[in-house]
Structures are given as C-alpha cells and as structure tokens.
Amino acid sequence: MSYADLAPAVEQQVLATVTELLTAVIGQEYAQSIDITMDTSFNEDLELESIEFVALSAKLREHYGSRVNFAAFLADKDVAETVGLTVGHLVRYLADCLAGERGAAP
C-alpha cells in the first residue's frame, strides 16, 4: 500500500479531529452554523481570532504529541498568512506528518 492510497483516509481522519477540536475552541453553537470543510478559511469563514488559532494549535499539539511539529508549520508565515489559511492547509500538513510517521514505521 502506497502513501497515495493512504492519504485520503488519513486526511479524512485528521479533518474529523480538527473539526472536533475547532468546535471546542469556537463553541458548539457557532460551529454548527458553519459547514466546516477542507475549503473553510479560518479568517473569512470562521472569523477566527488569532488567540483562538493559538488555542486550536495547542489542542492539536496535545492530541498528536511529538508527531507534529507545529512551530515549523507556522514559523515562516506572518499573522495574516496564518489566519488566512484554510482548514485544508492545516489538515494536509498534519496528514503529511502522520503519513510520514507511518511510512517510517516498520
């Protein structure tokens, strides 16, 4: 089985996790009013504050532990670029980290 076969499944899992943690950050009521997909923008669609993005990244760090290097993902983006990301950008990065880990496993 190659990475190409795994990718969609991993992405779906990660999207579910991101959606769940995002809902915890912004509140159930607000999250339910928006259909969160890979194309959802943190800034335009979710009107996510910077501090909420930080809270989300902390929850993701807790969830995935050392398998994901968040600092590296954000280190070259300024604030506008970061909050301008889509859910898909984040999901694909996380899925790549996890798939890479799978690929490295015996």
Query: Rule CB under 8 A: which residues touch other proteins?
Result: 43-44, 47, 49-51, 53-55, 58, 66-67, 69-72, 74-79, 82
Question: Considering beta carbons, is residue 67 or 102 the nearer one to other proteins?
Answer: 67
> Length of the chain in residues, anyone?
106
Place of tokens 């194309």: 39
User: Minimum Å distance from CB 60 to other proteins?
Assistant: 12
Torsional sign, CA 14, 105, 59, 41 = negative
User: Minimum Å distance from CB 13 to other proteins?
Assistant: 21
User: Minimum Å distance from CB 5 to other proteins?
Assistant: 27
Question: Considering beta carbons, is residue 37 or 50 the nearer one to other proteins?
Answer: 50
**Using CA atoms, how far apart are residues 100 and 12, in angstroms rounded to an integer?**
16
Beta strand extents in 11-96 (DSSP E only): none
Amino acid symbol at 1:
M
Question: Considering beta carbons, is residue 35 or 78 the nearer one to other proteins?
Answer: 78
